[in-house]
Amino acid sequence: MKALPSSYRAEHWDLAWVGFDIGMAATLLATSWALWNKRQAAIPGAMVSTTLLIIDSWFDVVTSTPGWDFKIAFVSAFLIELPAAFLLLRFSSKAVHGSIANAHSKAGKELASASLWRTPLMIFEDEN
């Protein structure tokens, strides 16, 4: 098994990072729009935004150079990105649970479990 090199000079690092940040900003804007307009698209948008915020904070911290660069990355991760990710994750979890309860109610079915791991996808239940 080959070991990863301890360092590697990446070409186009700035392009990759700017592209990631633009994608993250677009996702956050789309999620914000969907939340503001009370659209179901806010749920997957929040899930994707959560993932991108966690990834961004991780890579900002672990790729920063010692000193001010690391301090700024660390503070930004723990005071902005991770709290925002937590809020979006909490929203998406509550919204999914609410949507499941609403779908069961409208279908006249009892919600067997509040756990997402135990709740079957209703779209596959009656396909026999």
Nearest to 92 by CA among 43, 125, 55, 57: 43
pLDDT value at position 77?
A: 97
pTM of the model: 0.82
The answer, yes or no, to whether residue 30 has pLDDT greater than 60, is: yes
Q: What span, in angstroms and rounded, lies between the C-alpha atoms of 113 and 44? A: 22
Average confidence (pLDDT) over 27-49:
96
* H-only helix segments in the chain: 13-36, 42-63, 68-76, 82-106, 122-125
More confident residue, 13 or 56: 56
